[in-house]
Amino acid sequence: MQNINELEELIKIVSKLPGLGKRSSQRLILKLINNRNELMKPMVNILAKVYKNISRCNKCGVLKSNSIGCNNCEITDKKFKKICVVEQVSDQLTIENSNVAQDCYFHILGGTLSTSNKERKEDLLISSLVERVRKDNIEEVIIATSATVEGQTTAYYIQEKLKHLKVKVSKLGQGISVGSSVEDLEDGTLLSAFKNRTLIENNKD
């Protein structure tokens, strides 16, 4: 196939997406090119709209429409007393689809603390989580980070940041094996993890 710079650049970008390598990216892009009017043109148009109109809330981290604001923390028709803390938007979607946390606000960190790079904590929405707990009189924070070293390090850091507030802090219980991420869990496993969540005792100084 003729070397075309635009095509090669597109393949490199698409291959960075989860589950897509170079060969699968090539097949995907060729499918789009061969169906440019039915697939490629509509996709280009909607991607431009998504780029312009959708962003992450800088308070709670969920995806929001720029035209109507955040319905997770700004539009509070329902006054919940719990916040479920997850790493990524995909974790939120997994939990929402399982219907195990219908009485919770969500708070999406945007990642985890790296055990080798502590500076990452400034990039996460942990300070805004503390502010939400204080301002909204939250009674329980459910930490639903992954069962990896990074996830548990992040959970411990959040616990430390919340220990001077009058809030119950819990973490997901039995059902999550070591190394698992939330988005990979089945509904039954998530239900067990939420039902069996354990209270994290805070030793206040």
Per-residue pLDDT reduced to its tens digit, 14-72: 999 988 889 999 999 999 999 999 999 999 999 999 999 999 999 999 999 998 888 88
- Supply 4's token pair: 């075309």
**In CATH terms, is domain 5-56 a member of 1.10.3470?**
no
Q: Is the pLDDT of residue 129 over 60?
A: yes
What is the pairing mode between strands 168-171 and 198-200?
antiparallel
**In CATH terms, is domain 63-200 a member of 3.40.50.12500?**
no
Helices (DSSP H) in 87-162: which residue ranges?
89-98, 126-135, 149-162
pTM of the model: 0.78
Confidence band of 99 (pLDDT split at 50, 70, 90): confident
* Domain ranges within the chain, ordered by starting residue: 5-56, 63-200
Q: What kind and span of H or E run contains 110?
A: none
Which residue do the tokens 């603390």 mark? Answer: 113
